[in-house]
Structure 1
Amino acid sequence: MPTPVRAGRASARLVVLALASCGLVVSLMQTIVMPLLPEFPRLLNTTPAGAAWLVTANLIAGAVCAPVLGRLGDMFGKRRLLLVALAVMVAGSALGALSDAFVVVLIARALQGAAMGVVPLGISIMRDELPPERVGGGIALMSSTLGAGGAIGLPLTGVVAEHFSWHWLFGGAAVFGLIEMLLIWRVVPESPVRSGGRFDLVGAAGLSAALICLLLAITQGNGWGWASVPVLVLFAAAALLFLVWGVYELRLAPPGRAEATRQPLVDLRVSARRQVLLTNIASVLVGFAMFTSFMVSAQIFQAPDGTGYGFGMSLTVSGIALLPGGLMMVAFSPVTAYMSSRFGPRITFVIGAAIMGAANLARAVTAHELVIVIVATGVTSVGAALAYGAIPAMIMQAVPVTETAAANSLNTLARSLGTSTCSAVVAAVTTASVMYVGGVEFPTAWAYTVVFLIGAGAGLLASVIGLFVPRDGEVADLPLSETEDHRVRTAP
């Protein structure tokens, strides 16, 4: 590998572009199989329920990897762990490109889930390395690529799915990941900020088990039945595991304490601070409100005209119709940075969440006209750009510098829980009210109205919660203890 460029020689602009593009990696890993889900039972000789695990495995692996990689990044180097996450993702993509066996592709999808830890690590590097005046803009741009990547990834994967072999989707992801690794290696310096200490292996195992139970119940509830024994047992197990895990984490000495031999995976004392806790709760709702628009819009674009609301678009054309929304998120990232610096990230978040709530409400009460759908999706994207861009700044105002990656990873997990819960709710509502067109089952227009009303409620509730987050001036960066300050200053 070439010798990495040192921090003094890497321009801030190149660092921002290199790290911001990582958001596209995460989005592509989440959307790469979506266009072909109906075809995978035939392509991989499996059942529709088995094909759904290609999404579930990626989601669960990402949920587990995000907090683990965040803590390891705080301890041993954020850039180092970012490269590790990309390498695991590249390995999974290459594996999927070379195999037709369902089990192998399922493993490949799980390995691709490591990409979920890339964004919080990148945001943390920006905080450590960029000049103060560039941090806000860089974070806003990186957050916007999460939503933009989904909108851009859908048409891209749709074109590949319609005109080429599905293996190209995985092969292209592997090539893109390699390019990202080389770019990060060349232009992004390693952060000297380290927390030190020993890794909390027991805490990582406990959190992983709790998340697996919770996400399995959410993603499989519609297929297994929400009142079925497996789903109820999983929810109960998740609640119990979270409780036991929380008690264990609180017994460990917090980071920076001289007597700490093992740091908690998540410092719950910091996570329980009002600014962090309320921001994470609001992030779940924001993820729900944003994904409502993108997910349902794609379904409406592809539904046949006979439904009374559909437009009969192909995968490619429906993806193109979603493209303006993704571009709006990128275009508004500088606006997010300006508003956060001028009025504070809290106000920016409240405005963004309110816009998403209002846009979803408008979708619920207006006709499904093509122009209205595209405009409303674009407005939702503007709100998502403001809210997503402000969230990391709200988190970083309330956590110590050596907790940045872990705290942002937990917040990324919160947003992921929002999108996965949205998928489950949309599936439950749209299968409860159906009609038949040409002998094929489709959701009714009323089902989509209910979904948008729920999405509107999520966005508006997130905005209200944002009002109760302490004002930006009330929460300063937490001071380092003497032990922690020594670790930071002496880190290699």
Structure 2
Amino acid sequence: MPNTATAPPPEGFDNDVTDTGRLDGASRWRVFSVLTVIVLYTEVAPLQYIMIAAALQKMGATFPTVGANLSWAVIILTLVGASATPLLGKMSDVWGKKRLFLCCGGLFIAGCLIDALTTNWTLFLIGRALQAFAIATQVISYGLIRDLMPRRYVPVGLGLAAAGLGFSGVLAPVIGGFLVDHFDWQAMFWFLAIFTLIMTPIVMLVVPESKLRVKERIDPIGALLLSGGAGLTLLYLDKGQDWGWSRPTTLAWLVAGVVLIVLFFVVENRVSRPIMDMKLLRHPKVSMVLLMTFFGVFVLAVQSYALGYMTQTPSSDELKGTVAQGVVDQAQQMTGATLPISVVRVALEPGYSYGSGFSLLQYAIHLGIWTGIVSMIFGPLGGIIARRTGARTPAIVALVVMASVSAGYALATTSYSWLVFAILAAIFGIGFGLFYAAVPILMVDAVPQEQQGIGLGMLGVTQSIGSGVGIAVVTALLNNGPITAHIDVMGRTVDQTIPQVYADNGWVIGFWMVTATTLIALIVALFMRHGRTPATGGA
């Protein structure tokens, strides 16, 4: 029996002759205009992630009581994205990809407006949950490109869609930095909402709808079980350190999460119209790509979060000066006396080596843009390589690069230099671009076109859960190393925990952890048989 993931088409459906609206007779100008608009609209997903992840350190002042839970501004995005993407992927097969593409954009705009207008943590998370639908725009765009682009352009188009046109990777850190430094973090959400509002009518006018339709009912039960299971598991990983890893009340969250995930697989195997085709999911062409993706995205999620946070943290000397000045100001407020700052001595336990005290704009110029510039080049290059030799090759190169850079971050953290981090970030862009190009190409070539939406939805779930688990685990490691300031004022000592500043050890272990997960992904890619022949664009 041939090794193929292609399922028999529905009655009356022929993979090779079904008209999907492909622009085979269109001019290059028409083809690339459609591709450009699709890619620009999907850039809201990486755009918001890069901007918000990099700005978390600055946003902490608005939500001082949430502490390390600030990372849920990113985790909730991955959680909701994981639950919504497969459902939306299947809905795009049934109701139309362009239609769902625009609906996701509308929900994203609503989420941005909520966050631009609130300083309430609960409402902020609701807004972030709505913004998670932007993740589905990226997944749906792969299906649109597969349906609309001439075959020869599909691999390159997917590589371009994955890496973007440089708007998110290059401009997002600069735009976010300018807005936060000159206005406030809410300005980022106004910008994101306006950008999407402008792009929406352009998509409506320029991008045709795919003609591909699959007549199936939508079953949301699987999505609810998957999202509930993933959410409870992520909550355990994120809060286990605070609650006690082995306490029964803490373990109950993990057990409940695992039970829901198991139920998800049981239900999906038994219902007539599952949200995920379990036979397709178990096929080596699909399962190996998803396994590689799950472990590979850990480092992709953590890198942006870690670099933005670490470089914007003040140096230890700056932090000591800030704490001492706070004691002087408090004394003056309480007694009216002016206390000489020289009598206030501050020692940090444990100390830390990183911290540049950058503004968000300084971070963008010094580090943030370099990953984006390099990935913008290597994303389309990954598509070209896949079309000529197969998508497995750029995936392997990407994982080697990312594992090496992650190990470099771990080794460089305790002798921190922003210049070393900037060089590593630029090299990381090679892996970033190649990996995000290879993965959708592998998936498009692995599944038949009538299951394209749900197949790419599976990919979106895997990316979202992998990203969420990576951030949650690193957050737990950071919580294990809080910084305490020992404040001595003329012989009297007071201890004060410094919020949202962490010891070197948490970051170092976190980088080694994602290095290990990237190596696991590399092993999977080396054993993977799929992707060893030139990509066909889903033919």
User: Do Structure 1 and Structure 2 share a fold, with TM-score over 0.5?
Assistant: yes
Partner of 2:410: 364
| Amino-acid identity (%) | 24
Question: Helix, strand or coil: the match of 2:355?
Answer: coil
Alpha-carbon shift at residue 281 of structure 1 (Å)? 1.3
Match of 1:311 among 351, 356, 363: 356
Alpha-carbon shift at residue 416 of structure 1 (Å)? 1.9
Partner of 1:483: none
In the alignment, structure 2 segments of 5+ residues that lack a partner are: 1-20, 317-351, 488-497
Q: Distance in 1 between matches of 2:202 and 2:89?
A: 21
Q: Conserved in 1, the CA contact under 8 Å of 2:387 and 2:534?
A: no
Q: Conserved in 2, the CA contact under 8 Å of 1:148 and 1:329?
A: no
Alignment coverage as a number of residue pairs: 467
Partner of 2:39: 20
Q: Conserved in 2, the CA contact under 8 Å of 1:218 and 1:420?
A: no
Q: Conserved in 1, the CA contact under 8 Å of 2:79 and 2:465?
A: no
Alpha-carbon shift at residue 101 of structure 1 (Å)? 4.5
Aligned-pair Cα RMSD in Å: 3.1
Matches of residues 87-486 of structure 1 in structure 2 within 5 Å? Answer: 87-145=106-164, 149=168, 152-253=171-272, 263-306=273-316, 307-320=352-365, 321-366=367-412, 367-433=415-481, 435=483, 440=498, 442-472=501-531
**TM-score (norm. length: structure 1):** 0.85
Alpha-carbon shift at residue 155 of structure 1 (Å)? 3.9
Distance 1:317 1:29, change over 3 A: same
The range that moved more, 103-112 or 332-341, is 103-112
Alpha-carbon shift at residue 154 of structure 1 (Å)? 3.7
Q: Conserved in 2, the CA contact under 8 Å of 1:35 and 1:161?
A: no
Q: Which amino acid in the other structure matches residue 335 of structure 1?
A: L
1:318-371 alpha-carbon deviations (Å, 9 max, x no partner): 122221111111121221112111220012111111111112123333453333
Q: Which amino acid in the other structure matches residue 192 of structure 1?
A: K
Q: Distance in 1 between matches of 2:116 and 2:189?
A: 5
Question: Helix, strand or coil: the match of 1:205?
Answer: helix
**TM-score (norm. length: structure 2):** 0.78
Q: Conserved in 2, the CA contact under 8 Å of 1:70 and 1:120?
A: yes
Structure whose CA Rg is larger: 2
Distance 1:47 1:459, change over 3 A: closer
The range that moved more, 116-125 or 369-378, is 369-378
Distance 1:162 1:46, change over 3 A: same
1:123-147 alpha-carbon deviations (Å, 9 max, x no partner): 0110111011111111111111399
Question: Helix, strand or coil: the match of 2:43?
Answer: helix
Distance 1:325 1:51, change over 3 A: closer
Question: Helix, strand or coil: the match of 2:37?
Answer: helix
The range that moved more, 188-197 or 39-48, is 39-48
Q: Distance in 2 between matches of 1:382 and 1:476?
A: 20
Q: Distance in 2 between matches of 1:137 and 1:305?
A: 43
The range that moved more, 451-460 or 461-470, is 451-460
Q: Which amino acid in the other structure matches residue 160 of structure 1?
A: L
Q: Distance in 1 between matches of 2:156 and 2:455?
A: 20
Question: Helix, strand or coil: the match of 1:72?
Answer: helix
Question: Helix, strand or coil: the match of 1:397?
Answer: helix
Q: Distance in 1 between matches of 2:68 and 2:409?
A: 31
Distance 1:379 1:45, change over 3 A: closer
Question: Helix, strand or coil: the match of 2:132?
Answer: helix
Q: Conserved in 2, the CA contact under 8 Å of 1:41 and 1:50?
A: no
In the alignment, structure 1 segments of 5+ residues that lack a partner are: 254-262, 481-492
Alpha-carbon shift at residue 86 of structure 1 (Å)? 0.5
Question: Helix, strand or coil: the match of 1:332?
Answer: helix
Distance 1:316 1:332, change over 3 A: same
Q: Distance in 1 between matches of 2:440 and 2:368?
A: 26
Distance 1:432 1:148, change over 3 A: farther
1:346-397 alpha-carbon deviations (Å, 9 max, x no partner): 1211111111111212333345333321111111121121111100111122
Alpha-carbon shift at residue 34 of structure 1 (Å)? 4.2
Alpha-carbon shift at residue 202 of structure 1 (Å)? 2.6
Distance 1:235 1:478, change over 3 A: farther
Q: Which amino acid in the other structure matches residue 175 of structure 2?
A: L
